[in-house]
């Protein structure tokens, strides 16, 4: 047997062994697992500095984890991790490296692509970002009329928006008090209208963030912002009020943004992995270069943990493997992320792109259809809000929704009472999901509180909680730039490990292309003067016709 065949056989065997194991333990309830092992929390929780990852409420045994580790070995997670960290072109369909770990490399070690160290380029851009951010923060970056720039609008979408927007919200406490930062992503004019409203163009800095500088939404919003500014301050003001973050220098120059105001990055930085690059400029302006550096350091600490920790103590590996177990062996098709920290309320949206754009694939790296499920639907809401909305389904719906609970042990506010209530609710939710309450217990509780027997019997099935619903909990001391960096990097590496095991390329996103092409065809057909749409399916033609009919002036 040759090497690749042997590896494929080992992988097939690992999947098959896990399936047999699942059949043996699937009837085990988390109640029994906890009752049978007082040490379960210790056995199934991992630490990195002050960060705790508790996965004892996952439906796993020591044997499950051992078999999942064998799956990771059979899929060569270690080999792929080496390729990731050595700048190999692992994004095979785009023939690029995926080298976001270089962006936050805080060591003196070189990081090479094709033998060339990319660290000098990375450091040079970071230096320019720092100098620029410091000038804006100090009120020294002046607009066309000589006034300091005090409002910053970041225009971008997807990876050019979600990271800075999420992190800006998460790190509000670190934000410069004299600056305001707004984020625009949606091509819906309502978004840019809201962002521009009340702003003085003379004190506004617009950052156009787009890796390609061709994205329709971003370029449309940038054009509207430009018209807004030029209409008030004249064409010559563009150079003082617009900054670009992009890999496409020529397109940036054509827009009228100077080289001095352009912050570059590289094709090996994927959009959803780009917060660490110049895409982080608006965040750096808001929280300051030192805090931005702390975020990079946090991510780098997780890079070291991921790379240097054995499979059984490795947090991103454990996150990935319990996700695979839930998705591929217990049949879960959704995954919820519930931050019990209101500042992290955009974190689920950030993870949606990270996870679903990376691993929402059905074709493997070799072009074959995958034989198993890949990325589940990722969604979430901050706790405790989610408890009053989506968690009914989590507790009593027919299908379990594996959940990540995330919380800081210490709040960053002085209000008494709130944080313990928040944490108590989070812990209670994970306990209710895992342990549940059966019909007999529900009936007994009703009888004890004075409910009549007949009513108690009738309501017991409605009031029972099956439990055995898996969740993990991530706890850390405080939410700060360092820890936000760690959190993001944890999920990045989780996604990476899952992609390796599912056999997909986590770094392309061809699934977004068809819609873009079709939108370009539909756009002119919406015009009132356009002839009725030809070659469109009946629904598409019908919708276009309906819109035009509603817009047509009354006869
Ligand atoms: O359409 C998807 C996507 O390509 C994302 O991957 C990316 O983050 C986003 O669009 C924005 O792209 P750009 O930075 O090139 O404007």
| 100 HSE (CA, 13 A, CB side) | 26
Per-residue pLDDT for the chain (555 aa), expressed as one digit of tens each?
A: 788 888 889 999 999 999 999 999 999 999 999 999 999 999 999 999 999 999 999 999 999 999 999 999 999 999 999 999 999 999 999 999 999 999 999 999 999 999 999 999 999 999 999 999 999 999 999 999 999 999 999 999 999 999 999 999 999 999 999 999 999 999 999 999 999 999 999 999 999 999 999 999 999 999 999 999 999 999 999 999 999 999 999 999 999 899 999 999 999 999 999 999 999 999 999 999 999 999 999 999 999 999 999 999 999 999 999 999 999 999 999 999 999 999 999 999 999 999 999 999 999 999 999 999 999 999 999 999 999 999 999 999 999 999 999 999 999 999 999 999 999 999 999 999 999 999 999 999 999 999 999 999 999 999 999 999 999 999 999 999 999 999 999 999 999 999 999 999 999 999 999 999 999 999 999 998 988 878 999 999 999 999 999 999 887
Ligand 1 atom closest to the Cα of residue 160 is: 14
Predicted pLDDT of residue 267: 96
**Rounded Cα gap, residues 237 and 353, in angstroms:** 35
Look up residue 185 and give its two tokens. Answer: 């992503």
Q: Domain 3-74+313-434+472-508 sits in which CATH superfamily?
A: Glucose-6-phosphate isomerase like protein; domain 1 (3.40.50.10490)
- Contacting residues for 23 by C-beta, under 8 A, at least 6 apart: none
User: Quick one: pLDDT at residue 109?
Assistant: 94
Give the CATH fold of the 112-293 domain: Rossmann fold (3.40.50)
Q: Is 462 a catalytic residue?
A: no
Our answer on whether the CB atom of 220 is closer than 6 Å to any ligand 1 atom is no
> Per the structure block, which two tokens stand in for 452?
């009549």
Catalytic: which of 147, 418, 516, 521?
516
Ligand 1 mean position to 104 CA, how many Å?
A: 21
* Length of the chain in terms of residues written: 555
The Cα–Cα gap between 516 and 216 comes to 9
Q: Whose CA is nearest to atom 10 of ligand 1?
A: 158
Pocket test for ligand 1, best of 509, 515, 517 (most atoms within 8 A of CB): 509
Q: Is 164 in the pocket of ligand 1 (CB under 6 A)?
A: no
DSSP string, 315-351: HHHHHHHHHHIIIIIS---EEEEEESSGGGTTHHHHH
- 505 Cβ inside 6 Å of ligand 1: no
Q: Is the CB of 212 under 6 A from ligand 1?
A: yes
162 CA closest ligand 1 atom index: 8
Distance 333 CA to ligand 1 centre (A): 25
CA distance 183 to 235: 23
CA dist., res. 425 & res. 387, Å (int):
9
Verify whether ligand 1 is closer than 6 Å to residue 402 (CB atom). Answer: no
Report whether residue 215 contacts ligand 1, using a CB cutoff of 6 Å.
yes
pTM as predicted? 0.97
Structure tokens at 424: 């108590």
Q: Residue for token digits 């936050």?
A: 104
Q: Tokens 């960053």 — which residue?
A: 412
């Amino acid at each position: 047997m040759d090497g690749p065949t042997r590896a494929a056989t080992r992988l097939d065997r690992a999947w098959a062994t896990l399936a047999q194991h699942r059949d043996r333990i699937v009837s085990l309830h988390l109640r029994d697992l906890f009752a049978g092992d007082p040490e379960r929390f210790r056995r199934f929780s991992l630490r990195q500095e002050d960060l705790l990852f508790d996965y004892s409420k996952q439906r796993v045994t020591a044997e499950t984890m051992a078999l999942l580790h064998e799956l990771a070995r059979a899929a060569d997670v270690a080999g792929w991790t080496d390729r990731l960290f050595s700048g190999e072109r692992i994004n095979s369909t785009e023939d690029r490296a995926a080298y976001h770990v270089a962006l936050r490399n805080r060591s003196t070690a070189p990081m090479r692509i094709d033998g060339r160290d990319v660290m000098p380029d990375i450091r040079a851009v970071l230096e320019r970002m720092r100098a620029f951010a410091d000038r804006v923060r100090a009120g020294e970056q002046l607009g066309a009329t000589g006034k300091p720039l005090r409002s910053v609008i970041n225009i971008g979408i997807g990876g050019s928006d979600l990271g800075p927007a999420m992190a800006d919200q998460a790190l509000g406490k670190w934000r410069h008090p004299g600056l305001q930062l707004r984020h625009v992503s949606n091509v819906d004019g309502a978004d840019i209208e809201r962002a521009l409203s009340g702003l003085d163009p003379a004190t506004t800095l617009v950052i156009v963030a787009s890796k390609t500088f061709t994205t329709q939404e971003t370029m449309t919003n940038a054009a509207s912002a430009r018209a807004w500014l030029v209409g008030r301050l004249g064409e010559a003001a563009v150079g003082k009020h617009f900054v670009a973050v992009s890999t496409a220098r020529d397109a940036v120059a054509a827009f009228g943004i100077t080289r001095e105001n352009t912050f570059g990055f590289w094709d090996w930085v994927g959009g959803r992995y780009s917060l660490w690059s110049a895409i982080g400029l608006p965040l750096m302006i808001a929280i300051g270069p030192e805090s931005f550096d702390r975020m990079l350091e946090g991510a780098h600490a997780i890079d070291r943990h991921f790379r240097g920790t054995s499979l059984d103590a490795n947090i991103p590996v454990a996150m990935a493997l319990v996700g695979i177990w839930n998705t591929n062996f217990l049949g879960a098709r959704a995954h919820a992320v519930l931050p019990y920290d209101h500042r992290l309320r955009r974190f689920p949206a950030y993870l949606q792109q990270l996870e679903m754009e990376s691993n929402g694939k059905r074709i493997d790296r070799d072009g074959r259809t995958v034989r198993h499920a890949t990325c589940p639907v990722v969604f979430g809401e901050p706790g405790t809000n989610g408890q009053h909305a989506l968690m009914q389904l989590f507790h009593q719906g027919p299908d379990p929704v594996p959940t990540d609970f995330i919380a800081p042990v210490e709040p960053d506010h002085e209000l008494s009472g709130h944080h313990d209530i928040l944490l108590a609710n989070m812990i209670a939710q994970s306990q209710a999901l895992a342990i549940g309450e059966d019909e007999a217990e529900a009936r007994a509780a009703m009888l004890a509180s004075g409910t009549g027997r007949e009513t108690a019997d009738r309501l017991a099935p409605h009031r029972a909680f099956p439990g055995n619903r898996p969740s993990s909990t991530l706890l850390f001391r405080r939410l700060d730039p360092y820890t936000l960096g760690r959190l993001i990097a944890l999920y990045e590496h989780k996604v990476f490990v899952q992609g390796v095991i599912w056999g997909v390329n986590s770094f392309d996103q061809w699934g977004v292309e068809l819609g873009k092409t079709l939108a370009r065809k539909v756009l002119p057909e919406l015009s009132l003067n356009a002839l009725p749409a030809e070659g469109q399916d009946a629904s598409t033609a019908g919708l276009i016709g309906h819109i035009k009919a509603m817009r047509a002036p009354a006869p």
